[in-house]
Structure 1
């Protein structure tokens, strides 16, 4: 009779552990969705500020066209090309705002300092949002790689989340 109680207790403990793990996995998937939405919002904000800088008259016409084109392509790119388009925008911003002396000349214009600060902050937020998203994805992947999670299919049919790999380096000349 004691063996029956021991077996029931072990099965109950395993059931509680599996239930807790499934709940944790569900929360991680929700965090991945939230962090992805936050990253998308920050990318959209950065491209919007880049367009605003390009159309403000602070940049020379060729540079303004380069930045505006990269920002528009980043905004309108399909999902499978989004990372490349966002990396292109980062490269364009890094090329335009690489030299702190040039940025200081641009910042001397009336109202330019606030706009450049906003662009620098938007670039920094993109970098932080991407890191947070990739950390959340890594945690989810680690939990999903556990043997019990795979054996008992605790993830169900949820798609394995993907990391976001894009160039999000802060342009050297922009203020933080």
Structure 2
């Protein structure tokens, strides 16, 4: 085999390996972008479920009218928010409204009512799923951004025109629905001091 043929084969082999590597990077990036889109759709669904559970609690007449109005308003704003910045602010407001509405005495009163127990269970599940969905989404975004920041992806423009994904940052700390158990009758806690008599 002539030196020219050997050199040609070496160049073709290098090009084939390079093409394979770029194809693998592009496929991985495509999977990551798909994962971001899927996790964002799941996050949106869980946030809507949380707002729905908050609205159900607000209209149940289990809370006082002022608290119900505050909660219903925050839930409606979270559903109606448009754009990430507005949505993040509205979802954070809903989290704060839930924590304000569901103080330990309010939670104890709701648990004393069979209907209230169901509403609390639905809300607790919705809040927990929203926290997990946001965590999964932000993890997917972080991984995608890490791959997109590599030199190979930038040099070969493998991301194309796909926008750089961003994390969804909200205050999603759920209300302390278990605090009522800890502060319940027979335990020392705020507002539950035992009598001094023995």
Interval containing the TM-score (normalised by the shorter chain): over 0.9
> Paired residue for 2:187?
none
> Paired residue for 2:149?
145
> Paired residue for 2:191?
none
Select which of 114, 135, 153 maps to 1:131.
135
**Secondary structure of the corresponding residue to residue 115 of structure 1:** helix
Q: Flag the structure with more relative contact order, 1 or 2, with Cα contacts below 8 A and sequence separation at least 6.
A: 1
TM-score with structure 1 length normalisation?
0.94
Question: 1-side partners of 2:56 and 2:157: how far apart?
Answer: 48
Deviations 1:25-71 (A, max 9, x none): 01111111111111111111110110000000110111111110100
The answer to whether 1:159 aligns with 2:163 is: yes
Say if 1:39 and 1:129, in contact at 8 Å, map to a contact too. yes
Question: 1-side partners of 2:35 and 2:87: how far apart?
Answer: 21
> Paired residue for 2:95?
90
TM-score with structure 2 length normalisation?
0.84
Q: Unaligned stretches of 5+ in structure 1?
A: none
Say if 1:144 and 1:150, in contact at 8 Å, map to a contact too. yes
> Paired residue for 1:30?
34
Question: 2-side partners of 1:17 and 1:95: how far apart?
Answer: 53
Question: 1-side partners of 2:162 and 2:178: how far apart?
Answer: 40
Say if 2:43 and 2:130, in contact at 8 Å, map to a contact too. yes
Distance apart, 1:102 and its partner CA: 3.0
Number of aligned residues: 174
CA RMSD of aligned residues (A): 1.3
Query: Rg larger in 1 or in 2?
Result: 2
